[in-house]
Chain A
Amino acid sequence: MFDYTFQWGAALKALPDLLNGAVVTFNTAALSMIFGVLIALILAVMRETRNPLLNGIANTWVSIARNTPALFQIYLMYFGVGAFGFHVSSWAALVIGISFNNAGYLAENFRGGLKAVPETQRFAARSLGMTAYQTYRLIVVPQMLRVVFYPITNQMVWAVLMTSLGVIVGLNNDITGVAQEYNVRTYRTFEFFALAAVLYYVTAKLIVIVARLLSWRLFRY
Chain B
Amino acid sequence: MIEINKVHKSFGDLEVIKGVDLTVDKGEVVSIIGGSGSGKSTLLMCINGLEKIQSGSIRVDGTEVHDKGTDINKLRQKIGIVFQQWNAFPHLTVLENVMLAPRKVLGKSRAEAEEVAVNQLNHVGLGDKIKVFPGTLSGGQQQRMAIARALAMSPDYMLFDEATSALDPQLVGEVLDTVRMLADDGMTMVLVTHEIHFARDVSDRVAFFRNGLVHEIGTPDQVINNPQKPETIAFLKSVS
- Type the 1/0 row for B183-219, where 1 means its CB is closer than 8 Å to any CB of A: 0000000000000000000000000000000000000
B133 touches A129 (CB 8 A): no
- Does B83 contact A128, Cβ atoms closer than 8 Å? no
Q: Are B150 and A128 in contact, with the CB atoms below 8 A?
A: yes
Interface residues of A (CB under 8 A from B): 118, 120-121, 123-131, 134, 138-139, 142-143, 146, 219-221
- Bound together, the chains give a CA A221 to CA B105 distance in angstroms of 24
- Stretch from B57-65, B84-92, B168-176, B220-228 at the A interface: B84-92
Chain B neighbourhood of A143, CB < 8 A = 89-91
Are A129 and B91 interface neighbours, CB within 8 A? no
Whether A124 lies near B73 (C-beta < 8 A) is no
Q: A123-B83, A124-B83 are in contact. Are A130 and B91 (CB under 8 A)?
A: no
Whether B85 contacts A120 by the Cβ 8 Å rule is yes
Minimum Cβ distance to chain A for residue B134 (Å): 8
Q: Which of B77, B85, B87 contacts A129 (CB 8 A)?
A: B77
Structural contact, A131 and B73, CB atoms closer than 8 A: yes
- Beyond the given A120-B85, A142-B91, A146-B91, could you list 7 further A-B residue pairs with CB under 8 A, ordered by the A residue number? A118-B87, A126-B76, A127-B76, A128-B76, A129-B74, A129-B76, A143-B90
Neighbour of A221 across the interface among B48, B79, B80, B133, CB < 8 A: B133
Q: How far is the CA of A220 from the CA of B133 in the complex (A)?
A: 8
The smallest C-beta distance from A7 to any residue of chain B, in angstroms, reads 54
**Which residues of A sit under 8 angstroms from B91, Cβ to Cβ?**
142-143, 146, 219, 221
Partner of B104, one of A121, A130, A221: A130
CA distance A124 to B106 in the complex (A): 16
With an 8 A cutoff between CB atoms, is B135 at the interface? yes
- Does B181 lie at the interface of the complex (its beta carbon under 8 Å from any beta carbon of A)? no
A142–B87 alpha-carbon span in the complex (Å): 15
Spell out B's residues near A (CB within 8 Å): 45, 48, 50, 73-74, 76-77, 79-81, 83, 85, 87, 89-91, 100-101, 104-106, 133-135, 146, 149-150, 153
**B50 contacts which of A126, A130, A138, A146 (Cβ < 8 Å)?**
A126
Chain B residues whose C-beta falls within 8 Å of the C-beta of A220 in the assembled complex: 133
Given contacts A120-B83, A123-B50, A138-B100, contact A130 B105 (CB under 8 A): yes
Nearest CB of A to B139, in Å: 15
Chain B residues with Cβ under 8 A from A139's Cβ?
A: 89
B85 touches A127 (CB 8 A): no
Contact indicator B87/A124 (Cβ below 8 Å): yes
Determine the chain A residues whose CB is within 8 A of the CB of B150 once the complex forms.
127-128
In the complex, what's the smallest C-beta–C-beta distance from A50 to chain B, in angstroms? 14
| Chain B residues closer than 8 Å to A121, beta-carbon distance | 87, 89
A138 to B92, CA, bound (A): 10
Judge whether B90 and A130 touch: CB under 8 Å. no
- List, in ascending order, chain A residues with CB within 8 A of B105's CB: 128-130, 134
| Alpha-carbon gap, A128 to B73, bound state (A) | 8
Residues of A within 8 A of B81 (CB): 127
Q: In the bound complex, what is the Cα–Cα distance between A126 and B150 (angstroms)?
A: 11
CB distance from A176 to the nearest CB of B (A): 39
* B154 CB to nearest A CB, Å: 11
Q: Which 4 A-B pairs have the closest CB atoms?
A: A124-B87, A128-B101, A221-B133, A129-B77
Q: Is there an interface contact between B89 and A130, defined as CB atoms closer than 8 Å?
A: no
CA distance A129 to B153 in the complex (A): 9
Q: How far is the CA of A192 from the CA of B106 in the complex (A)?
A: 61
Query: A121-B89, A221-B90, A221-B133 in contact; A129/B50 too (CB < 8 A)?
Result: no
